[in-house]
Structure 1
Amino acid sequence: MTDTKQRVWFITGCSKGFGRVFVETLARRGDYIFATARVASTLDDLRGLAPERIRTAALDITDMAAIERAVADCIAAFGRIDVLVNNAGYGVAGPIEAVSDAQTRAIFDTNFFGTLNMTRAVLPHMRDRHQGHIIQLSSSHAWGAPPGLGMYSASKCALEGASETMAKEIEGFGIRLTILQPGPYKTDFLGTGLQLAERKLDAYANLMNGLGEARAANHLKQPGDPLGVARAMVEVVEAEQPPLRLLTGKIATERAKAKIEQVSNEYARWEPLALAADFAA
């Protein structure tokens, strides 16, 4: 039986990046963690951090049956789930015209549908207990990605749209939801976490060359330390009134401010036409 003073966390995508740092941080706090990844053996060392408080399991979040088994196993092991951290996800780089239909569906299957199904599987348990917190890992690119990351941005925008409405639907059950929007951090996102568009179109050669150069120059050289996101996440979960969205990092904050200013200015400029559209005369 778990100590009720410590939280039980269910975390996806723990083999590397944010997920791994989340597990390490929470283990040091004395919390209980059900850590998952597509390949369970990549988590062996994490389980060793606190064998009595950490369970690991293979989980592909595009497999609904696997999701349901993992949720049941976590509850069987620890008795409850206090916090669900939907961290699993990846990116696709390339102009939207060059991203194949198969790639588009695959990234949405993970970043949107997989995360949504993971959330749906945990919600009945949290509703029964009338408490819980869901953390959705999004990206500062949900505010608008640069050329070449449009499909990744689209998957995160879809997640944020559904999550914002869901947060309102579940608050009456005592369940909170927070969307984390990190900027660039030292993770493997620009390595194995980023696929390239399958189609090669000469018209976008300059864009693809630029993406390749940026990827090589910035991989594992990003300014942010993932530990900062882990600490911010814990603080959000402990807050009496947690935010719906939390930007993390200076770059993410600057991106959001620039987007808000751009949208505000554009709306103001075109407001007369927007208002006139009410009338057909």
Structure 2
Amino acid sequence: MSTTKTWFITGASQGLGLALTQHLRHLGHRVAATSRRLSSLTAALGPASADFLPLQLDLTDDAAVRATVTQAHAHFGRLDVVVNNAGYGIGGSIEELSDAETRQAFDVNVFGTFNVIRHALPLLRAAGAGHIINVSSIAARAGATGWAVYGATKAAVSALTEVLVQDVAGFGIRATVVEPGGFRTNFLSADSLVLPRQPIEAYADVRASHARYLQLHGQQGGDPAKAAAAIVRLTQEPNPPLHLLLGQDAYNRAQTKLDALQQELTAWRGLTESTGFAQ
């Protein structure tokens, strides 16, 4: 019995999306890969072939998303795994980022994910099977100073996946949210991040946080090739997890957050429970 699958991956021209697409092609899987620029895809991964379909896609255009998902399904005859990987980092205090910049981050990181899921689900439901993998971030669980908007977009991706998995369980469809820590991609390069164009001097802690993260570029502890292998393994498990952290740093940050949350819950339990009607 063949174990090859048909994958649909957004944001495949760089970073984890590129590493995953390369790994899948090496394993012999069929891949429909998207990017905002088709030239970036073909430069990184080569031209279209029987097992590879590069597609240009603006995730904020719902009609384009529907057409692209439909095209991929028609080309391969099925979709087995949908990976919502596309996204970008945006840093700054809330008042340093404009409404347009903030909404654009949500349009790409969150609503782009909604758009793909919306149009992939009818196809997966009809097949009675499928796996949706949404790439979030450890920032969704344990945010860092100066990354409120980015953390909010990724928290939305994690939260929507937690309910999605319940909504689609009866159709034979699985869902997992992947929450990576730092991986050695171009994510933290100055060219990839959106940072305040007019920083406010008072936010010294935010500037210091950004400087620390920018210095990590090229030094991150996570290996993208190993992350790709881990994501493929997810799809081979009979009972895949709803949440998958990737990277030792992600595990450590999540554990620290859990410990702090438990302490806070305990400390304020009395006030929490005091708000009910008297018996």
TM-score (norm 2): 0.95
Distance 1:69 1:47 in 2: 22
Q: Does the CA contact (< 8 Å) of 2:146 and 2:210 recur in 1?
A: no
SS at match of 1:196: coil
Residue 168 (structure 2) aligns with: 170
Alignment partner of 1:44 is 2:38: no
Please list, as runs of the form range in 1=range in 2, the aligned pairs for 1:20-59 lying within 5 A after superposition. Answer: 20-48=18-46, 51-59=49-57
Distance 2:44 2:95 in 1: 40
2:185 counterpart (184, 187, 200): 187
CA offsets, 1:13-56, max 9 Å, x none? 01110010011000011000001100001111454388321110
Distance 2:213 2:254 in 1: 22
**Which has the higher mean CA deviation after the structures are superposed, 78-87 or 46-55?**
46-55
2:270 counterpart (245, 268, 272): 272
Aligned-residue offset at 1:60: 1.0
Amino acid of the structure 2 residue aligned with 1:88: A
SS at match of 1:242: coil
Aligned alpha-carbon RMSD (Å): 1.8
Distance 2:263 2:4 in 1: 47
Residue 99 (structure 1) aligns with: 97
Distance 2:107 2:86 in 1: 11
2:86 counterpart (85, 88, 100): 88
SS at match of 2:90: strand
SS at match of 1:202: coil
Residue 197 (structure 1) aligns with: 196
Q: Does the CA contact (< 8 Å) of 2:37 and 2:56 recur in 1?
A: yes
1:254–1:49 distance in 2 versus 1, CA, 3 Å: farther
2:77 counterpart (76, 79, 86): 79
TM-score (norm 1): 0.94
Residue 61 (structure 1) aligns with: 59
Q: Does the CA contact (< 8 Å) of 2:109 and 2:153 recur in 1?
A: yes
Distance 1:101 1:44 in 2: 34
1:77–1:46 distance in 2 versus 1, CA, 3 Å: farther
Amino acid of the structure 2 residue aligned with 1:136: N
Residue segments in structure 1 that go unaligned for 5+ positions in a row: none
Distance 1:20 1:44 in 2: 11
Aligned-residue offset at 1:213: 2.4
Q: Does the CA contact (< 8 Å) of 1:47 and 1:54 recur in 2?
A: no
Distance 1:39 1:49 in 2: 13
Aligned-residue offset at 1:5: 3.8
What is the number of residues matched between the two proteins? 278
Distance 1:5 1:50 in 2: 22
Q: Structure 1 segments of 4 or more deviating over 4 A?
A: none
Distance 2:9 2:31 in 1: 7
Q: Does the CA contact (< 8 Å) of 1:186 and 1:223 recur in 2?
A: yes
Aligned-residue offset at 1:159: 1.5
Aligned-residue offset at 1:277: 1.9
Distance 1:255 1:4 in 2: 39
Amino acid of the structure 2 residue aligned with 1:94: G
Residue 256 (structure 2) aligns with: 258
Aligned-residue offset at 1:97: 2.1
Amino acid of the structure 2 residue aligned with 1:58: Q
Distance 2:56 2:167 in 1: 30
Aligned-residue offset at 1:98: 1.3
Q: Does the CA contact (< 8 Å) of 1:13 and 1:87 recur in 2?
A: yes
